[in-house]
């Protein structure tokens, strides 16, 4: 079954092409076609997983050649796919969550004019993402990397009639290009120093690389990851990306694409290891700071989807923190659980927006759990999971990250993580209490209805996964860490009493956050302290509400000089110098032809005379040079 | 041997004199006649150098066909009027004569050096004589023409066909309704065709 | 430079004698032919013809010559002086020159020197004949143009087109002869026609016809038997070259007074006249050499060199008679018919005949097959040429107009 | 001792120069054409002379090609002159000066 790996990519790609060409003809069936195009690969992936489990642990890395791609002399880049524990986990997440989101979209996008096109993009995205995770070759990986970027751009700007959506798409694309550029150079450095483009070869050669080269390559790769996975300083595009349809946010900006950076670093962990301390430290610190930073921003946001977006950024920061402390399998574990509960919450938010005619401001909502029970209850699962309440999935993964940081001796990082855990619980609870608890509030007193069957069909399984997803890494059973070991190496799990204490602290942090939020936002008594708080810390609150002025800073520091440079190029360089040169040459030619055209008398005998003159001159030259 | 020099002298005077006379002839028909004389003289020159077949072809084709064609067109168009002596293009005539003289001087200089060059070529001249006797001039030519020069030879046939078609197109009078085929019109039509081809 | 010596050798003593003798003989023959033409035509038209001067009017030609010689030489005012003067000579000289390559008889041995009865046996004889024929055009053209008069000019233009048209057919008709003889020299061609046809096995096995085969052992081996289509084309084109009836359009008296020599009189007119008759004689002589075995013929033991000359003269006069006969018989062609005949019948027929000859003379083809192919293809060509102009059919019966799409 | 080739070459060169001067000074298109023919004839003489010099017939064969090209050129050229003359009533090349700005 593992040989079928190319079909995992080919099916969504075929679906995308089919819908692109015959989309109008297919019409309403597009959603079903697209869901099938991603659902069947999920089943294939399950079968592949079974096959893989059937192999000995050391042999769980199978290379499948789809076709020979480029062969120039010694250089060859075959379209080879690498099926190993890491990629199969990613494939399962992408296809599994992706299938649910596709099914959800059938209901959510119902009545949309560009229905088939949406699903075409979604399938194309799935194909690109699967190519990214399955590629055994840096070039192929880069194709997938750019492919998901393209689809992200297309889907964020799906409602391109809205300037906000169009701008958000452009922003996402441009910010991502910065990261992609870094990534590309990283690939060049790797291929130059490793002499090969295949993942296995690069990782095998990594140990022999000079530390400086490895560090440079690692940092460049991480630069790519900061773009794709929305880390400081390139996180700014993700909140704006919420302009896209909600299923897009759920699939791309929560579950899959933004985790590509995490996957990529896990994939090239030997390179990061080879660089020694600095690179991993940078990764860890950037991750921790992003987690804290985004958590702070999320507390002041009123847009329901943006809160979730900041939350995503924050949780991705956790994952990078885990990567940075060398706990790759933990990072992947959190990636998986996060995919479950964050997709769930996005879809829940989408369900809310769907029934509130697109309303996203949480100040105009309230008490919706009773009005839409399915959405409310499943959202609650997600809320509890992200808040780190035992036994929901988020607790296990977050706890594992914090434990790994502690174990590595990075106490400061552990502290930041713990504080962020409090913040996470706080802002998610704020969201939950505002929207689902309390008195029923709807904009314009709409009649609220619960999610339609297809949406519910996605919400319920995801809710269940959010609850029990932590089970995949329960100590003692067949754990994810053990499964991933051949691919990303062993991660030390602290023994003794320490993990239990750390787990307790994490749980306490989550509970504390929830309690604070409940006090401030859910209880009537919290109204006054909240206002006091706002007054007391008004500059901080203000700054938070303005996203710490990062967009403005970028606007001043990068966009304005860029515009000035462009304007300089356009108005001076191009208009004066380039055009001036071109026009000057034209003017010169025109003037000289005006002068020279007097030679052209029209009398053929004059022309012949000139001809004779040339002959005589040529003859004389030859004669004098003694040729004749 | 002196006889050959004598014939060459006659030929030289005839050819050069006729060309110069052609230059100064103000009448087109006279110019054509001098050109015929030049060509006949050249044919004599060819004979002197053992190129019998070429000499015959020179007479048949140049003097017999091409020049007759010239005369035909001159008579047909009636362009045998005398040209004015003053050249309307300023400087054309002195420049042309000057440059032509320069060219002549240069060619003469090269030819004189060519005489030295040819001193070693006398042996080969006898080779040509032998060639003219053994397979004969015509056969030697034919053997070369139809073996080594076959492709150019065929190319010239294409050239001739193209020329014929081109002339037909050029000389055709457009818009003339074909008559019953018995009138004078078609007579003049075939007249053109005949003359042109 | 053996060829050069050959040619220049004509200037040497024996050559000089030959030239003089042949020149005089040719003049006499031409004079005889003028007389002959008048007599023959008169006979055909049931008249008497010249009969005042000398026995049977034999001195008539001399009388004419003397008369023309003493007549006033008249030049029109608009004439181009030098060209007008040169034209008659230009008409006459090439005809004289053409006889140089024709072998008039066998050789004679004087002392230890062999003397051939040919002025210059050059190896491109046929081409030389064609070259002289093409130079003959100038007399007509220049006369027409130089007279400064419209009828001569029209005659000149007509003859220009006519001559260069028929020259092609004339040249092409000689190619098959060169092919079968393997030489361009007239002497070689004549030599190739020596003897008789010999044993023909074509009729072997056919009872009666088998007996007839013996007849071939006395039939002379002339090219006329196998090359008669070439002879037909040559003869027609040759008559057109000489501007004689029925192709005498340049001087068609009903249309152009006397064509290119309208303005000429006296000795210059005589030169045109003489040139034409010399041309006729030379044409006949060449035809005899090419197709009728030249000077070959049975002779008696005494004076062996004389008989070939006599045979040659006799054969030539027969051909001349044929030409005169044509003049007395056929009406003049209309100009477009002339062009039609030249371009659309004679040239294609000549080309076709070249192909046939080349095919049939391929190595390894048996003589019988050659004969059979000859008979069939020659018949087909004859039928095609004789089919006539389809436009004529249309003129007679408009409904039957086929093949006039190109008109 | 036969005439050295240099003499022939000199004659050809002189004839060629005469042809050049004639083609440049005369105005009648047909006459210009004749001078071009004169130049071609001079070239033919050169070919034949070289043929004798080197003792093979290649030069004479080239004369054929020159002849063919000359024939084709004359035929087409005269037809063009014929057409121009019919249209514009002149064969003077200076009257046909359209080849300019």
Residue D5 inside a domain? The answer is: no
Mean pLDDT of C200-209: 63
Domain with residue D32: its CATH number is 1.10.287.3510
Are B129 and C83 within 8 A, CB to CB?
no
Q: In 3D, which of A346, A398, A409 has the Cα closest to residue A375?
A: A346
Residue D37 inside a domain? The answer is: yes
pLDDT grade for A354, boundaries at 50, 70 and 90: confident
d(CA C186, CA B146): 24
Mean pLDDT of A563-568: 88
pLDDT for res A91: 92
Percent of chain C, pLDDT > 90? 0
Neighbours of A, requiring at least 3 CB pairs below 8 Å, are: B, D
Are D8 and B49 within 8 A, CB to CB?
yes
The per-residue pLDDT for range A391-420, each reduced to its tens digit, is 888 888 888 888 888 888 888 888 998 899
Percent of chain A, pLDDT > 70? 96
Q: Is the dihedral of CA A119, A121, A123, A125 positive or negative?
A: negative
Collect all residues of chain D within an 8 Å Cβ-Cβ radius of residue B31.
Answer: 31, 34
Average pLDDT, chain A: 85
Would you say residue C398 has pLDDT above 70?
Answer: no
Are B109 and A623 within 8 A, CB to CB?
yes
At residue A452's C-alpha, the angle toward residues A447 and A454, to 5°, is: 165
Collect all residues of chain C within an 8 Å Cβ-Cβ radius of residue B137.
Answer: 3, 123-124
Higher pLDDT pick, A115 / A195? A115
Would you say residue A125 has pLDDT above 90?
Answer: yes
Nearest Cα of chain C lies from the Cα of B112 at a distance, in angstroms, of: 23
pLDDT for res C402: 45
Cβ-Cβ pairs closer than 8 A, A with D, add up to 29
Residue D98 inside a domain? The answer is: no
Neighbours of C, requiring at least 3 CB pairs below 8 Å, are: B
Neighbours of B, requiring at least 3 CB pairs below 8 Å, are: A, C, D
pLDDT for res A355: 85
Would you say residue A295 has pLDDT above 70?
Answer: yes
d(CA A18, CA A14): 6
Nearest Cα of chain A lies from the Cα of D100 at a distance, in angstroms, of: 4
Instruction: Say if CB A236 and CB A229 are below 8 A apart.
Output: no
Instruction: Say if CB A334 and CB A322 are below 8 A apart.
Output: yes
Are A612 and B100 within 8 A, CB to CB?
yes
DSSP A412-453: HHHHHHHHHHHHHHHHHHHHHHHHHSSS-B-GGGPPP-PPPH
Mean pLDDT of A374-378: 88
Kind and range of the H or E element at A38?
helix A30-54
| Nearest-by-Cβ selection for C404 from B4, B57, B181 | B181
Residue D19 inside a domain? The answer is: no
Listed by start position, the domains of chain C span: 25-70, 83-394
Q: Is C138 on the interface with B (CB under 8 A)?
A: yes
pLDDT for res A190: 87
Instruction: Say if CB A156 and CB A165 are below 8 A apart.
Output: yes
Nearest Cα of chain D lies from the Cα of B124 at a distance, in angstroms, of: 4
| Nearest-by-Cβ selection for B121 from D11, D20, D54 | D54
pLDDT grade for B186, boundaries at 50, 70 and 90: very low
Would you say residue C110 has pLDDT above 60?
Answer: yes
What ipTM was predicted for this assembly? 0.73
| Nearest-by-Cβ selection for B181 from C80, C157, C394 | C394
Average pLDDT, chain C: 77
For residue A569 the two structure tokens come to: 């190029």
Mean pLDDT of A479-503: 74
Helix or strand or coil: residue A20?
Answer: helix
Q: How far is CA C33 from CA A103, B97, C240, C274, in A?
A: 118, 54, 18, 10
The per-residue pLDDT for range D17-27, each reduced to its tens digit, is 899 888 888 88
The per-residue pLDDT for range B12-55, each reduced to its tens digit, is 898 889 988 888 887 888 888 899 889 989 988 888 888 888 88
pLDDT grade for A255, boundaries at 50, 70 and 90: confident
Listed by start position, the domains of chain B span: 1-81+127-137, 149-177+189-197
The per-residue pLDDT for range B48-107, each reduced to its tens digit, is 888 888 888 888 888 888 888 888 888 877 766 666 667 777 777 888 888 888 888 888
Are B75 and C127 within 8 A, CB to CB?
no
pLDDT for res C1: 42
Mean pLDDT of A476-480: 65
Are chains C and A in contact at 3+ CB pairs closer than 8 Å?
A: no
Are B102 and A616 within 8 A, CB to CB?
yes
pLDDT for res B81: 66
| Nearest-by-Cβ selection for B59 from C135, C144, C398 | C135
Instruction: Say if CB A221 and CB A265 are below 8 A apart.
Output: yes
Within 10 angstroms of residue A515's Cβ, the number of other Cβ atoms is: 13
Which of B25, B181, B192, B195 best tests the C interface by mutation, with the highest count of C CBs <10 A? B181
d(CA B181, CA C406): 10
Mean pLDDT of C148-166: 81
Collect all residues of chain B within an 8 Å Cβ-Cβ radius of residue A613.
Answer: 99
Are D38 and B69 within 8 A, CB to CB?
no
Collect all residues of chain B within an 8 Å Cβ-Cβ radius of residue D49.
Answer: 49
At residue C107's C-alpha, the angle toward residues C103 and C108, to 5°, is: 145
Helix or strand or coil: residue A527?
Answer: helix
The per-residue pLDDT for range C240-292, each reduced to its tens digit, is 888 787 877 666 666 677 777 777 877 888 888 888 888 888 889 899 988 88
Nearest Cα of chain B lies from the Cα of A616 at a distance, in angstroms, of: 6
Nearest Cα of chain B lies from the Cα of A579 at a distance, in angstroms, of: 43
| Nearest-by-Cβ selection for D24 from A597, A602, A609 | A609
Say which residue the tokens 């991993």 belong to.
Answer: A280
pLDDT grade for A120, boundaries at 50, 70 and 90: very high
Would you say residue B180 has pLDDT above 70?
Answer: no
Collect all residues of chain A within an 8 Å Cβ-Cβ radius of residue B112.
Answer: none
Are D78 and B1 within 8 A, CB to CB?
no
| Nearest-by-Cβ selection for D100 from A600, A609, A612 | A600
| Nearest-by-Cβ selection for A619 from B95, B106, B113 | B106
Would you say residue A468 has pLDDT above 90?
Answer: no
Structural domain count of chain D: 1
Neighbours of D, requiring at least 3 CB pairs below 8 Å, are: A, B
Are B89 and A606 within 8 A, CB to CB?
yes
pLDDT grade for A144, boundaries at 50, 70 and 90: very high
Nearest Cα of chain A lies from the Cα of B126 at a distance, in angstroms, of: 26
pLDDT for res C364: 66
Query: Of the ranges A66-75, A619-628, B155-164, which is most confident?
Result: B155-164
Give B1-81+127-137's CATH code, choosing from 1.10.260.40, 2.40.50.180, 3.40.50.300, 1.20.120.1200.
1.20.120.1200
| Nearest-by-Cβ selection for B99 from A613, A623, A628 | A613
How many residues belong to chain A?
A: 628
Nearest Cα of chain B lies from the Cα of A602 at a distance, in angstroms, of: 11
pLDDT grade for B188, boundaries at 50, 70 and 90: very low
Nearest Cα of chain A lies from the Cα of D26 at a distance, in angstroms, of: 9
Collect all residues of chain C within an 8 Å Cβ-Cβ radius of residue B64.
Answer: 130-131, 133-135, 137, 164, 167
Cβ-Cβ pairs closer than 8 A, B with C, add up to 140
Pick from A5-14, A497-506, B144-153, C297-306: least confident:
C297-306
d(CA A87, CA A527): 49
Would you say residue C400 has pLDDT above 50?
Answer: no
The per-residue pLDDT for range A436-447, each reduced to its tens digit, is 888 887 777 777
Which of A614, A618, A619, A624 best tests the B interface by mutation, with the highest count of B CBs <10 A? A619
pLDDT for res B192: 42
Would you say residue A48 has pLDDT above 80?
Answer: yes
Are D68 and B160 within 8 A, CB to CB?
yes
Percent of chain A, pLDDT > 90? 20
Would you say residue B191 has pLDDT above 50?
Answer: no
Are B64 and C160 within 8 A, CB to CB?
no
Are B66 and D37 within 8 A, CB to CB?
yes
Would you say residue D82 has pLDDT above 90?
Answer: no
| Nearest-by-Cβ selection for A616 from B99, B109, B110 | B99
d(CA A328, CA A273): 11
pLDDT grade for C4, boundaries at 50, 70 and 90: low
| Nearest-by-Cβ selection for B66 from D10, D65, D70 | D70
Q: Is B89 on the interface with A (CB under 8 A)?
A: yes
3-state secondary structure chain C: CHHHHHHHHCCCHHHHHHHHHHHHHHHHHHHHHHHHHHHHHHHHCCCCCCCCCCHHHCCHHHHHHHHHHHCCCCCCCCCCHHHHHHHHHHHHHHHHHHHHHCCCEEEEEECCEEEEECCCCCCCHHHHHHHHHHHCHHHHHHHHHHCCCHHHHHHHHHHHHHHHHHHHHHHHHHHHHHHHHCCCCHHHHHHHCCCECCCCCCCCCCHHHHHHHHHHHCCECCHHHHCHHHHHHHHHHHHHHCCCCCCCHHHCHHHHCCHHHCCCCHHHHHHHHHHHHHHHHHHHHHHHHHHCCCCCCCCCCCCCCHHHHHHHHHHHHHHHHHHHHHHHHCCCCCHHHHHHHHHHHHHHHHHHHHHHHHHHCCCCCCHHHHHHHHHHHHHHHHHHHCCCCHHHHHHHCHHHCCCCCCC
Q: Within the 592-621 window of chain A, which residues sit less than 8 Å (CB to CB) from chain B?
A: 601, 603, 605-606, 609, 612-613, 615-616, 619-620
Would you say residue A215 has pLDDT above 70?
Answer: yes
pLDDT for res B189: 40
């Amino acid at each position: 079954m593992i040989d079928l790996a190319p079909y995992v990519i080919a099916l969504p790609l075929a679906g995308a092409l089919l819908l692109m060409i015959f989309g109008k003809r297919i019409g309403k069936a597009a959603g079903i076609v697209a869901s099938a195009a991603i659902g069947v690969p999920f089943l294939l992936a399950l079968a592949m997983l079974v096959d893989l489990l059937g192999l000995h642990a050391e042999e769980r890395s199978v290379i499948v050649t789809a076709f020979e791609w480029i062969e120039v002399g010694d250089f060859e880049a075959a379209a080879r796919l690498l099926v190993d524990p890491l990629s199969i986990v990613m494939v399962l997440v992408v296809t599994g969550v992706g299938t649910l989101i596709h099914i959800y979209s059938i209901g959510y996008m119902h009545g949309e004019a560009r229905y088939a096109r949406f699903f075409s993009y979604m399938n194309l995205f799935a194909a690109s993402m699967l190519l990214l995770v399955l590629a055994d070759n840096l070039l192929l990986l880069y194709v997938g990397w750019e492919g998901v970027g393209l689809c992200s751009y297309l889907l964020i700007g799906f409602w391109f009639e809205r300037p906000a959506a169009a701008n958000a798409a452009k922003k996402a694309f441009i910010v991502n290009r910065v990261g992609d550029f870094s990534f590309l150079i990283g690939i060049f450095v790797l291929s130059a120093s490793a002499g090969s483009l295949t993942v296995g070869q690069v990782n095998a050669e990594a140990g022999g690389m000079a530390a400086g080269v490895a560090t440079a390559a690692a940092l460049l790769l991480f630069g790519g990851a900061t773009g794709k996975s929305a880390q400081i300083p390139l996180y700014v595009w993700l909140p704006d990306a919420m302009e896209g349809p909600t299923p897009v946010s759920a699939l791309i900006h929560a579950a899959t694409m933004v985790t590509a950076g995490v996957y990529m670093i896990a994939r090239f962990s030997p390179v990061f290891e080879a660089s020694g301390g600095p690179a991993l430290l940078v990764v860890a610190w950037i991750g921790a700071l992003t987690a804290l930073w985004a958590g702070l921003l999320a507390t002041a946001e009123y847009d329901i989807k943006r809160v979730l977006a900041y939350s995503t950024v924050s949780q991705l920061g956790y994952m990078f923190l885990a990567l940075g402390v060398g706990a790759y399998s933990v990072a992947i574990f959190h990636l998986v659980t996060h995919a479950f509960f964050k997709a769930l919450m996005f879809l829940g938010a989408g369900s809310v927006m769907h029934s509130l005619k697109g309303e996203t401001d949480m100040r105009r909502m309230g008490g919706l759990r009773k009005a839409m029970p399915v959405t409310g209850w499943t959202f609650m699962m997600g809320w509890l999971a992200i808040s780190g309440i035992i036994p929901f999935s988020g607790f296990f993964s977050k706890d594992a990250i914090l434990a790994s940081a502690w174990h590595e001796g990075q106490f400061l990082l552990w502290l930041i993580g713990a504080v962020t855990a409090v913040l996470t619980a706080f802002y998610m609870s704020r969201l939950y209490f505002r929207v689902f608890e309390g008195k029923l509030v709807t904009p314009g007193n709409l009649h609220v209805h619960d999610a339609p069957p297809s949406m519910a069909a996605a919400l319920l399984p995801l809710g269940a996964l959010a609850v029990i997803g932590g089970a995949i890494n329960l100590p003692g059973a067949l754990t994810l860490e053990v499964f991933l070991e051949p691919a990303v190496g062993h991660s030390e799990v602290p023994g003794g009493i320490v993990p239990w204490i750390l787990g307790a602290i994490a749980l306490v942090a989550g509970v504390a956050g929830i309690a604070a939020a409940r006090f401030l936002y859910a209880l009537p008594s919290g109204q006054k302290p909240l206002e006091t708080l706002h007054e007391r810390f008004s500059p901080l609150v203000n700054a938070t509400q303005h996203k710490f002025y990062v967009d403005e800073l970028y606007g001043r520091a990068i966009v304005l000089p860029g515009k000035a440079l462009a304007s300089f190029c356009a108005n001076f360089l191009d208009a004066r110098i380039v055009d001036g040169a071109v026009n000057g040459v034209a003017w010169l030619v025109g003037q000289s032809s005006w002068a020279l055209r007097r030679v052209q008398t029209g009398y053929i005998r004059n022309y012949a005379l000139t001809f004779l003159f040339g002959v005589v001159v040529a003859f004389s030259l030859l004669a004098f040079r003694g040729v004749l | 041997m002196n006889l050959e020099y004598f014939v060459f002298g006659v030929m030289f005077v005839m050819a050069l004199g006729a060309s110069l006379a052609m230059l100064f002839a103000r009448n087109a028909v006279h110019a054509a006649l001098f050109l015929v004389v030049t060509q006949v003289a050249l044919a004599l020159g060819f004979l002197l150098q053992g190129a019998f077949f070429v000499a015959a072809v020179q007479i048949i084709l140049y003097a017999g066909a091409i020049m007759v064609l010239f005369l035909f067109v001159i008579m047909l168009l009636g362009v045998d009027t005398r040209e004015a002596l003053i050249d309307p293009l300023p400087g054309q005539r002195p420049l042309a004569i000057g440059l032509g003289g320069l060219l002549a001087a240069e060619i003469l200089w090269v030819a004189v050096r060519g005489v030295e060059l040819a001193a070693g070529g006398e042996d080969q001249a006898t080779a040509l004589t032998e060639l003219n006797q053994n397979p004969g001039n015509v056969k030697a030519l034919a053997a070369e023409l139809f073996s080594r020069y076959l492709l150019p030879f065929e190319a010239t046939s294409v050239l001739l066909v193209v020329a014929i078609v081109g002339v037909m197109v050029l000389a055709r009078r457009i818009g003339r309704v074909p008559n019953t085929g018995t009138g004078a019109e078609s007579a003049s039509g075939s007249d053109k065709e005949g003359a042109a081809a | 430079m053996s060829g050069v010596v050959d040619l220049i050798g004509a200037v040497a003593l024996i050559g000089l004698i030959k030239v003089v003798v042949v020149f005089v003989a040719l003049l006499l023959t031409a004079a005889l032919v003028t007389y002959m033409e008048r007599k023959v035509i008169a006979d055909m038209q049931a008249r008497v013809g010249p009969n005042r001067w000398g026995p049977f009017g034999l001195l008539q030609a001399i009388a004419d010559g003397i008369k023309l010689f003493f007549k006033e030489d008249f030049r029109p005012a608009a004439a181009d002086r030098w060209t007008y003067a040169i034209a008659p000579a230009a008409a006459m000289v090439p005809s004289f020159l053409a006889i140089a390559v024709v072998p008039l008889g066998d050789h004679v041995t004087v002392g230890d020197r062999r003397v051939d009865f040919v002025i210059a046996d050059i190896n491109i004889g046929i081409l030389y004949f064609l070259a002289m024929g093409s130079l003959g055009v100038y007399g007509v053209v220049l006369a027409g143009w130089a007279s400064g008069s419209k009828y001569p000019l029209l005659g000149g233009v007509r003859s220009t087109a006519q001559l260069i048209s028929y020259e092609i057919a004339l040249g092409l008709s000689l190619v098959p002869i060169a092919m079968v003889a393997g030489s361009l020299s007239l002497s070689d061609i004549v030599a190739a026609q020596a003897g008789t046809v010999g044993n023909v096995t074509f009729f072997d096995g056919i009872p009666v016809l088998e007996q007839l085969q013996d007849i071939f052992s006395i039939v002379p081996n002339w090219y006329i038997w196998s090359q008669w289509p070439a002879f037909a084309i040559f003869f027609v084109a040759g008559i057109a070259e000489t501007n004689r009836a029925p192709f005498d359009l340049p001087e068609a008296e009903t249309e152009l007074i006397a064509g290119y020599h309208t303005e000429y009189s006296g000795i210059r007119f005589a030169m045109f006249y003489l040139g034409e008759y010399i041309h006729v004689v030379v044409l006949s002589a060449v035809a005899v050499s090419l197709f009728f075995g030249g000077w070959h013929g049975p002779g008696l033991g005494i004076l062996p060199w004389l008989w070939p000359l006599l045979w040659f003269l006799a054969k030539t006069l027969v051909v001349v008679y044929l030409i005169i006969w044509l003049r007395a018989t056929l009406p003049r062609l209309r100009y477009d018919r002339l062009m039609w005949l030249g371009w659309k019948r004679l040239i294609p027929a000549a080309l076709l005949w070249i192909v046939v000859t080349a095919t049939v003379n391929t190595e390894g083809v048996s003589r019988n097959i050659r004969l059979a192919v000859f008979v069939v293809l020659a018949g087909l060509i004859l039928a095609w040429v004789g089919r006539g102009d389809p436009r004529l059919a249309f003129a007679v019966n408009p409904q039957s107009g086929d093949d006039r799409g190109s008109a | 001792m036969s005439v050295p080739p240099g003499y022939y070459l000199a004659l050809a060169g002189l004839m060629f120069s005469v042809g050049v001067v004639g083609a440049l000074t005369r105005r009648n298109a047909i006459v210009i054409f004749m001078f071009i023919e004169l130049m071609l004839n001079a070239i033919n003489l050169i070919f034949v002379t070289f043929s004798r010099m080197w003792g093979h017939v290649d030069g004479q064969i080239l004369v054929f090609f020159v002849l063919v090209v000359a024939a084709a050129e004359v035929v087409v050229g005269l037809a063009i002159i014929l057409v121009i003359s019919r249209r514009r009533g002149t064969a003077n090349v200076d009257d046909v000066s359209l080849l300019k700005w």
